[in-house]
Structure 1
């Protein structure tokens, strides 16, 4: 069938007129500078947009209302900019506020788009996703029976959230493997506790930051003080693995807990209010404690800011694998109709001027994820191997459990070994 071209009809004329009325406002400069040609809306392209709008209205196989078409157009404008800019309807805007407040119904993963595929950035600690063994860079092929290849990021997040107690199935493909697998998870109320701490051994502390919330800086300072109650710290491990980021000011506060001054991070964008610099203050919770910072491919955004600042200021040794590389700043802008706009407005830079965006943080010492396996070949027989041997009263069960934990988490074990080596060298230099 030969289709005849359709001209610009009344609805598109109304749209073109509305855009023309908006033109003077759109071309106003943000400052008192003269308007440049780049600030002006292209009338020919607006006319083409209106014509496409009208043809869809008249000829599409199903009837589509004007509001849906316009919102789809706005979504398209933003989705083509970068993976993190988005138009948010009322439900999506409310969902974003829930996650910012730190409590929502879901499975506990941070997701993003990598080469067009819905990919797990990181599972959040102690959530259905982390307990099921989901890992950073796992690809989500489908959510229930819905393939993810044509879903926007926000649509995927909306599908995965739901009432606590309800079940959801995900089809997962792990990078490097040929076969996918289906995982069934039960949604929970995700309450994100951002800081956890403990002593690995006498004098050696462990500080886990799972994400950056408004009070994370204060919680890190309190955790360091608790660790020091049993005596001075000979070393501290700051674990930022699988930390998807969060509040910028919280990242600055965490870096400030270890720095006695200097630049932490700065941002650069097109508008004057996106040019920001954040520096550490003089008061420091742990100014002299030897520090190892653990990162991996799930460490993103604010986690990369902290790792980059500590690395550039030579405050600690960064260990693990290359981080995710999300170095862009998003502002959430409420709109008058109860909806919202999430827009990338600037990029992060480390104190030495390194861009984090699509680059990530390279560790000083690369240690891949793994576990220690003890082979029997060539192993000498020891007293502890004899059946019925007397157990030492100096090795409590907690010590045995910690040894097993370090064997399971090779990166953590290597970080502890490095701290001990640094202390040996420090004592020799005195």
Structure 2
């Protein structure tokens, strides 16, 4: 398996050298060709996905995980549109980050350049296959896609269609390659292919991410789990707060930007807690609450620290009443995964205190946590949401998939 993975990485390096000098118009044309081909191949993709879903259910996989795996015509059309959205974005390659003429006459420019070869190790979300391919291609890099065995048929169908479209557009098929998922060692060989792979991005559950961070010898951008909080402030519009909590929790439970924790200021708790508990229960959500929440409704489950730290990815939410915004911030700093936090408030002072006090990749003011998404924020598709602090943080789009080169031009200068 090691030889197979390394051979793919070498082919990717060759393809990356071609992409590095490919003009934007050619990359965009390839992205449009890939998008058209995916739409045309919807039946084949959905058929392959049906077999993955059937196998997942037979294996006893939870419906929240199956939801992440499932594709239909609408979801295929959505990620195909994501490719077109990426094509419409400015090309980051060649962008001058900064530049100056030094006192000695040297002209310095820091220029964005492709990363090279990017390895993706991810769990059962086939849309990531198309998103990652699009972003890496536009950013001038080749990508090695190691999805999960649970989505192997879906990923293979998507990748085969995109590779054929790349060839038709005059670009190397090996710009997008699938790494086999039937052997667990393939992930290890990919993350340890130092010198062949320039960057590895894990995307999935906490176990996957931790394993890649600990075992990889290739540099890693860590995407994180999403224990996202909604804090309802003393100065919140409670109707707005109720809408935001319900959207953040129930719009789609199986994604990392779904809310998993709710904090309510004591000043509005008597009015808001009964309302939100009733609305959440009506939506099928189990509330894991502190004594103030438990006293509201016998159906509220007593919360533990494990509940407050959990990424449920289901119709569950932890909940607590806090005495102040500072207590809310302290709670979030203790239990948050650093993904997304939201405050509902009409106070500018409170929003400023919250946005500077929490330490997360994204902070929402009077908006649902569900907006932490590359597409929603105008980046086109995203390759993941980084919760680390080095190089890239938050939704990772084109810019985050580049590095820089310093170009220094002189006129016979010597030192």
What TM-score do you get using the length of structure 2 for normalisation? 0.26
Q: By percentage of residues, which structure has more helix?
A: 2
Higher relative CO (CA 8 A, sep ≥ 6), structure 1 or 2?
Answer: 2
Larger C-alpha radius of gyration, 1 or 2? Answer: 1
Under a length normalisation based on structure 1, what TM-score does the superposition of the two structures give? 0.25
Higher strand proportion (structure 1 or 2): 1
